Chains A and B, each alone.
Chain A
């Protein structure tokens, strides 16, 4: 007879979720609102000149504060700093789900910015990917002032 193991598994109730709504602060709000006009803003530190994309209110290098006056507009073009391919994603309920089509995720250094950020990469021949190649933001046809205004990064 099979011996009962010493433990049982207790599953969380599927209906229970903890819901959050994080306020973004003024600097990020400026950035999100500018996306409606297809503008990608960054902030430049008045002391050490490091440019953060997206913008923030504190420089991590010299701790100087950055305000609305320190915002700069980027061209939306950039250079591919690296990439990876995803074949699965999480469903948020503890399970892996196979993607129908693999997704490319790019690390991009936007023109004028010192920091790198991550965006989906589409409309590109995955066999021709090369670090340093020129990429640009493809905007959504309708922009409302939020992250969804940026559709993806594409090859130039």
Chain B
């Protein structure tokens, strides 16, 4: 049975493109110490450590074994979770499971990424490995190099998201200007978040529109950065949470869903049975399950804030619809009217989101963390003016086929 638990402390490091002042172990440790300080506890009080980062991106195959000492593992069970881009979301949910199951009273979930340790530009080392086996296999059967470069380098220069964005734009009527608006909002919001990476105070859509096109409809100004950073949450069971924290952020509903690869190739270069990668059935199913667990029947009315995993602006629009926050095909209209701004009716990604800060392993955990900060009223300059009772934090990963969906609230279930 699920026993009530909440986030009582949050810690982040400042994200930049080059945190060369620390080793990756020291980076993760900074986030953990910040979270412990925020919760008002010491490492002795922690029962279990759940950690994660993207497999292989930082050039260390089993980092949790190496940097375990820096994140408090000695003397405790240490669990590593790696689920692609949703790693952070799974780490957050994992930390929740260890407490909700009754096994531990206090757990920490820590996730990090140090892209600058990879020599490859744009931190593509890890991405390179992800496709390697499939790639060599196809090359063995005479795949044309020209086709390969054109489809993967051009299309995937902006990740798999560019095809997904095209499907959405065709279906909903969203235009490239709307992507400019979302990207500008992310950078404007990030300027109010002391830990974010791409901070552009008062960024306007026209500023984004001046940047070069990568592959239509994506511009350089739309793309997320490759950040070095870490984040950590402290999860405690009900009695401990009420004792230690004035306003804990309670876990109300969790769900996660994995599907077959949603586009390009599946294993052994086979095809995939999904025509439209913006369909995201997985997100619909996860949201439904998470809301049901949280007792939410009308997300459009009951959700006060959303932190959506949006390395690309099109994804903020796509996923806000799939999470049930807007009717199908209408997200861009609501965004245009300002409903998703910091002082809007349904603020989305007020921290700047992944579009402004992307240390991949930790990004999905930061969505949970930022939602928690808003509920606790501790977000500082980017705190929304309205009272946040229920918030949803989302993550996607893999070939747009993994989803995590977490609902947090200001009072226990």
Of B60, B120, B136, the residue contacting A13 (CB under 8 A) is: B136
* Cβ contact within 8 Å between B125 and A63: no
Distance in Å: Cβ of B149 to nearest Cβ of chain A: 15
* Given contact pairs A18-B120, A22-B23, A58-B70, A12 touches B125 in the complex (Cβ within 8 A): no
Complex: chain B residue closest to A11, CB-CB: B136
B74 part of interface (Cβ distance < 8 Å): yes
Which residues between 115 and 129 of chain A lie within 8 Å of chain B, taking CB atoms? none
Number of A-B pairs, beta carbon distance below 8 Å: 73
Question: Would you list 9 pairs from A and B whose C-beta atoms are within 8 A, ordered by A residue?
Answer: A10-B136, A10-B137, A10-B140, A18-B129, A19-B125, A20-B117, A22-B23, A22-B24, A26-B22
B345 part of interface (Cβ distance < 8 Å): no
Complex: chain A residue closest to B75, CB-CB: A61
Which residues between 26 and 83 of chain B lie within 8 Å of chain A, taking CB atoms? 26, 29, 33, 42-43, 56, 58-60, 69-70, 72, 74
Which residues between 39 and 67 of chain A lie within 8 Å of chain B, taking CB atoms? 56-58, 60-61, 63, 65
* Given contact pairs A10-B140, A60-B74, A28 touches B120 in the complex (Cβ within 8 A): no
- Name A's interface SS: mixed
* Cβ contact within 8 Å between A25 and B118: no
- Chain A residues within 8 Å of B132, by CB: 12, 16
* Cβ contact within 8 Å between A20 and B22: no
* Cβ contact within 8 Å between B136 and A23: no
* Cβ contact within 8 Å between A26 and B119: no
Of B23, B69, B72, B120, the residue contacting A25 (CB under 8 A) is: B23
A90 part of interface (Cβ distance < 8 Å): no
* Given contact pairs A12-B132, A58-B29, A60-B69, A19 touches B119 in the complex (Cβ within 8 A): yes
- Chain A residues within 8 Å of B58, by CB: 20, 22
B201 part of interface (Cβ distance < 8 Å): no
Complex: chain B residue closest to A13, CB-CB: B136
* Cβ contact within 8 Å between A23 and B74: no
Instruction: Please tell me the number of chain A residues within 8 Å of chain B, measured between CB atoms.
Output: 24
- Chain B residues within 8 Å of A25, by CB: 21-23, 25-26
B128 part of interface (Cβ distance < 8 Å): yes
B133 part of interface (Cβ distance < 8 Å): yes
A5 part of interface (Cβ distance < 8 Å): no
A95 part of interface (Cβ distance < 8 Å): no
B334 part of interface (Cβ distance < 8 Å): no
* Cβ contact within 8 Å between A19 and B120: yes
* Cβ contact within 8 Å between B72 and A23: no
Complex: chain A residue closest to B67, CB-CB: A58
B20 part of interface (Cβ distance < 8 Å): yes
A8 part of interface (Cβ distance < 8 Å): yes
* Cβ contact within 8 Å between B70 and A23: no
Distance in Å: Cβ of B232 to nearest Cβ of chain A: 13
* Given contact pairs A10-B133, A13-B136, A58-B70, A21 touches B42 in the complex (Cβ within 8 A): no
Complex: chain B residue closest to A24, CB-CB: B23
* Cβ contact within 8 Å between B136 and A20: no
Complex: chain A residue closest to B124, CB-CB: A18
* Cβ contact within 8 Å between A20 and B118: yes
* Cβ contact within 8 Å between A21 and B117: yes
Complex: chain B residue closest to A12, CB-CB: B136
